[in-house]
Amino acid sequence: MAQPTNDIWEVLATARSIRRFTDEPVNDETLRRCLEAATWAPNGANAQLWRFIVLDAPEQRAAVADAAQSALQMIESIYGMSRPAPDDQSRAARNNRATYELHDRAGELTSVLFAAYKNEFASDYLQAGSIYPAMQNFYLAARAQGLGACFTSWASYQGEQTLRASVGVPDEWFLAGHVVVGWPRGRHGQVRRRPVADVVFRNRWDASHADIVYGEGARPSGG
């Protein structure tokens, strides 16, 4: 159910990860606007050492499906996830059911692979700061147009080599991330996050709020 909006605050507050999609394809112009928004992102020295690869051909979608299954095996182990019973209607079960649906349908969906050139003089973390804003711009532009999107880990684990080989990404480019995009089945909703006071410190580290604990609504981001 498309819910486009030009209100930046609504976009930010309702850009939840979408894991359930309709069968309606994303038209080229709508996708192009998301990609154009990605090119507007800040990056080091405005070098724009990024490339965005749209994956929508049968061969590449098959590679995405393989990568998704590899990632699913990993996150099942890491998070202790399993397919919920049909009669389980708890929030955790609903969330997990959506995650499994995303992975099961990976080969049917359009997605974008984000690659960045490796600089010898900078760490991976420093270089990441020049492409992750582009990914976020893409994600927010998708939400603004009523699309749904989900960051995945499918370009990691064993999936990296699968996608790299399918697309032909040279070794001097690293795979920074992967985003699935499509028309959501359902509505965008308010994100669930911890209160600002729990995560923002002023001038000094606050040990009382520093423990890392998965809170209400926390879950793996897309696989």
Asked if the structure places residue 160 within a domain, the reply is yes
Asked if the structure places residue 218 within a domain, the reply is no
**DSSP, residue by residue, 33-80:** HHHHHHHTS--GGG---EEEEEE-SHHHHHHHHHHHHHHHHHHHHHHT
Mean pLDDT of the chain: 93
Asked if the structure places residue 161 within a domain, the reply is yes
Q: What is the pLDDT of residue 211?
A: 83
Q: Would you place residue 219 in the very low, low, confident or very high pLDDT band (cuts 50, 70, 90)?
A: very low
The domain of 172 spans: 8-209
Tokens representing 199? 């995560």
| 196, pLDDT greater than 70 | yes
Q: Would you place residue 217 in the very low, low, confident or very high pLDDT band (cuts 50, 70, 90)?
A: very low
Asked if the structure places residue 72 within a domain, the reply is yes
Asked if the structure places residue 124 within a domain, the reply is yes
Tell me which residue of 175, 132, 131 sits closest to 155, measured CA to CA: 175
How far is C-alpha 22 from the chain's CA centre? 18
Number of domains in the chain: 1
Q: Would you place residue 1 in the very low, low, confident or very high pLDDT band (cuts 50, 70, 90)?
A: low
- Quickly count: other Cβ atoms within 10 Å of residue 58's Cβ: 8
Asked if the structure places residue 221 within a domain, the reply is no
| 221, pLDDT greater than 60 | no
- Residues 24-56 have pLDDT tens digits of 999 999 999 999 999 999 999 999 999 999 999
CATH number for the domain that contains residue 19: 3.40.109.10
Q: Say whether pTM exceeds 0.75.
A: yes
Asked if the structure places residue 220 within a domain, the reply is no
| 146, pLDDT greater than 90 | yes
Q: What is the pLDDT of residue 220?
A: 46
Q: What is the pLDDT of residue 200?
A: 94
Asked if the structure places residue 219 within a domain, the reply is no
